[in-house]
Structure formats: structure tokens, C-alpha cells
């Protein structure tokens, strides 16, 4: 039914696709799975330039990852954010003993593997005839069928219908590249697109899909830097948020003797965090451990704690 379309997509991919991405040139399911998890919230260039290879060097197999302490995994993940991804990778490595299952249903039983990731692993690592679904593919499908607010169910139906049953691997990679390079959120290049012939949304592509407006609340907190000489006090987080990372303590109100050194903000998916930073030389709570700056650089801390530390160092220089 889509024979000509699939041929056009394959030709476009051969000429313009990102064929040299390392996770497209391996049959190692772990390497493919790792790339899928890293790419969930992070751009290809960032993953490629800074995280993918160092992580693989540190944990070359899923088995090695499962045997490593969580703190070492979090340290290697530092800077990528969304640490639940790293914790779920680690749990999956432990639960599987180093071998991922091949079926989509079994993959979806594992921590952090939802429908999209299970399809991507099945399609790319195990070469199954299933479509992949990520933000770029969603956008293409909505535009192809001129759907302003498609449901998940509808998108999956369309994706299964459209997938190239003979060359699913190239087709799926091509769809992701077309979304990233041609069918971009703003000013898509429809005149270069191999899907142009059947695309119902090409006359007004930015209309599809309609964005849901999100209002993100701001949470304000007071952070206290307890000092002992050149050392700063941190605690190991054990709540749900940033669990396993070290962080600077928060308080309801700073003591009178503490002084404000600055503020930092950080955007998370569901809220924005605004931190006023105070320095205190009073007696610290007993659950804090004191580290000098070079020691802090060796333990896993979150992006916002990195910003707090930088604010403190800048103040010292000023
Ligand atoms: S023709 Fe345009 S809107 Fe349609 S899929 Fe291609 S780039 Fe996207």
C-alpha cells in the first residue's frame, strides 16, 4: 500500500540520514537501550559529545552496570539530570542479570521502560517489525493526517499501519531523522520531505499538533551552606526527589547569624525551583558530612546543587 512512500523514505535516509550514530551501528542491545534512555530528555549532540562513551567506558556491559554501586552510576550520570532514568537503568541491569528480554510485554515489565522505549529497543536492538514513537515521530504523524489533538491510541494505530514491514529498521531511523531535520516544530522543510505526497497537513503544518499550554509553578526554598573551615556540609538525599544524590540542606528560615550570598533557579519538568542561598558557621545538624570542593566534585550532586556550589565559589572570589 505504501510501497512508493517507503521507497522514497529509504532513499532519503540513505542520502541524508544520520547513519553514523554509534547506537545505529551496533547489535549490542545494552548500547541501544542505553542510548534510548539517555535520549529521552537529552539532545543527541549532548549525549554523543559528553555522556554516551564515558558511561560505556565505565560500565561496558549491562551486567557490569548491575554490579556497580548506585552511587558510581549516579556520578557517571551527573549533568544529564532526570536521575530516575539512571536508577531505573541500574535496577533493570540487576533484575535482568545483564540480558534484556526481547518481547515488548516483557520489556515493559522492567523499571523505567514504557511503551515508547520498549518499542524502540524491540525495533532497533531486536529488529522487530514494530514502529517507534518519540516526539519527532508524533509530530510527523499528526501532520501527515492533519490531526490537531491526536490521542495516544490513534497515534499508535497510525504508526503500526504506516511502518515499513519489509525494512522496519531503516524506516524507523528515517522517521526520527525526518522529524529532527525536516518536519521540525517551526518552519518544516516540506519541499524536501519524502512524505510530502501523502501529507495532509503540509499546507499549514505548524497547526499540527496543537500544543497544550502548561503553567509551571515556582517553588521557593532557603538553602543553608554550613561551613567548617574550607569544607561545606551536605547530606545524602533519601526522599523520592533526587534520591541517592548528595545535596545542600534546606531550612524553613535561616538563622539570624547566616548571611545571604545569592540566589539560583533551576527548571524541572513540573516546577521551577528558586533557591536563596545563605552561609552559616553555626553548629551543623549531625546528619551532614563535610567535604572540601575537590571532594564534592567526586560525589554525585544535582544540577541545582552544582549551581549553588558555583554561587558560593564566585562569592569567595569576589
Ligand atoms: S510534508 Fe512537511 S508537514 Fe508533512 S511530514 Fe513532511 S515536513 Fe512534515
Please compute the mean of the pLDDT values over residues 113-131 and round it to a whole number: 96
Please compute the mean of the pLDDT values over residues 177-186 and round it to a whole number: 97
Length of the chain: 318
Residues annotated as catalytic are: 36
Inter-helix orientation angle 115-124/168-181, to 10°: 120
Q: Select from 184, 187, 199, 209 the residue to mutate for testing ligand 1; criterion: most ligand atoms less than 8 Å from CB.
A: 199
Question: What's the angle, vertex CA 45, arms to CA 33 and CA 298, rounded to 5?
Answer: 75
Does the Cβ of 188 fall within 6 Å of ligand 1? yes
3-207 and 218-317 agree in CATH topology = no
In the structure, what pLDDT confidence band is assigned to residue 315 with cuts at 50, 70 and 90? confident
In the structure, what pLDDT confidence band is assigned to residue 269 with cuts at 50, 70 and 90? confident
- 223, 233 contact by CB (below 8 A): no
CATH 3.40.630.30 is the classification of domain 218-317: no
pLDDT tens, position by position, 191-237: 999 999 999 999 999 999 998 777 889 999 999 999 999 999 999 98
Determine the pLDDT at residue 34: 98
Contacts 24+ apart (CB under 8 A), 1-5: 2/162, 2/164, 2/198, 4/197, 5/194, 5/195, 5/197, 5/198
**Cell 528558586 found at:** 274
Output the average pLDDT for the chain: 94
Please compute the mean of the pLDDT values over residues 66-83 and round it to a whole number: 92
CA 45, distance to chain mean position in Å, is 13
Q: Is the pLDDT of residue 239 over 80?
A: no
Determine the pLDDT at residue 257: 87
- Where are the chain's structural domains? 3-207, 218-317
In the structure, what pLDDT confidence band is assigned to residue 31 with cuts at 50, 70 and 90? very high
- 159, 220 contact by CB (below 8 A): no
CATH 3.40.50.300 is the classification of domain 3-207: no
Q: Is the pLDDT of residue 318 over 80?
A: no
H or E element at residue 296: helix 293-296
Q: Select from 195, 198, 203, 206 the residue to mutate for testing ligand 1; criterion: most ligand atoms less than 8 Å from CB.
A: 195
Give the torsion sign (CA, 175, 180, 185, 191).
negative
- 127, 167 contact by CB (below 8 A): no
Amino acid at each position: 500500500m505504501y510501497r512508493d512512500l517507503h521507497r522514497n523514505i529509504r532513499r532519503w535516509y540513505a542520502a541524508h540520514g544520520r547513519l553514523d550514530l554509534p547506537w545505529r551501528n551496533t547489535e549490542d542491545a545494552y548500547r541501544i537501550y542505553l542510548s534510548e534512555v539517555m535520549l529521552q530528555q537529552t539532545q543527541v549532540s549532548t549525549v554523543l559529545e559528553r555522556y554516551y562513551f564515558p558511561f560505556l567506558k565505565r560500565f561496558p556491559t549491562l551486567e557490569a552496570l548491575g554490579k556497580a554501586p548506585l552511587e558510581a552510576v549516579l556520578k557517571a550520570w551527573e549533568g544529564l539530570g532526570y536521575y530516575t532514568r539512571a536508577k531505573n537503568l541500574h535496577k533493570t541491569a540487576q533484575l535482568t542479570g545483564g540480558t534484556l528480554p526481547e518481547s515488548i510485554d516483557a520489556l515493559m515489565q522492567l523499571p523505567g521502560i514504557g511503551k515508547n522505549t520498549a518499542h524502540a529497543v524491540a525495533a532497533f536492538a531486536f529488529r522487530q517489525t514494530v514502529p517507534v514513537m518519540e516526539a519527532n515521530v508524533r509530530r510527523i504523524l499528526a501532520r501527515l493526517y492533519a490531526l490537531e489533538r491526536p490521542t495516544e491510541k490513534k497515534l499508535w494505530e497510525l504508526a503500526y499501519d504506516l511502518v515499513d514491514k519489509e525494512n522496519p529498521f531503516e524506516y524507523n531511523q528515517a522517521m526520527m531523522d525526518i522529524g529532527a531535520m525536516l518536519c521540525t516544530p517551526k518552519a518544516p522543510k516540506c519541499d524536501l520531505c519524502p512524505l510530502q505526497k501523502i501529507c495532509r497537513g503540509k499546507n499549514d503544518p505548524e497547526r499540527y499538533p496543537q500544543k497544550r499550554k502548561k503553567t509551571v509553578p515556582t517553588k521557593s526554598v532557603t538553602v543553608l551552606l554550613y561551613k567548617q573551615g574550607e569544607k561545606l556540609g551536605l547530606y545524602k538525599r533519601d526522599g523520592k526527589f533526587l534520591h541517592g544524590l548528595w545535596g545542600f540542606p534546606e531550612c524553613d528560615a535561616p538563622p539570624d547569624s547566616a548571611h545571604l550570598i545569592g540566589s539560583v533557579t533551576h527548571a524541572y519538568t513540573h516546577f521551577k525551583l528558586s533557591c536563596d542561598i545563605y552561609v552559616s558557621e553555626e553548629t551543623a545538624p549531625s546528619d551532614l558530612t563535610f567535604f572540601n570542593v575537590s571532594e564534592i566534585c567526586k560525589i554525585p550532586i544535582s544540577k541545582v546543587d552544582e549551581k549553588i556550589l558555583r554561587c558560593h565559589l564566585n562569592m569567595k572570589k569576589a
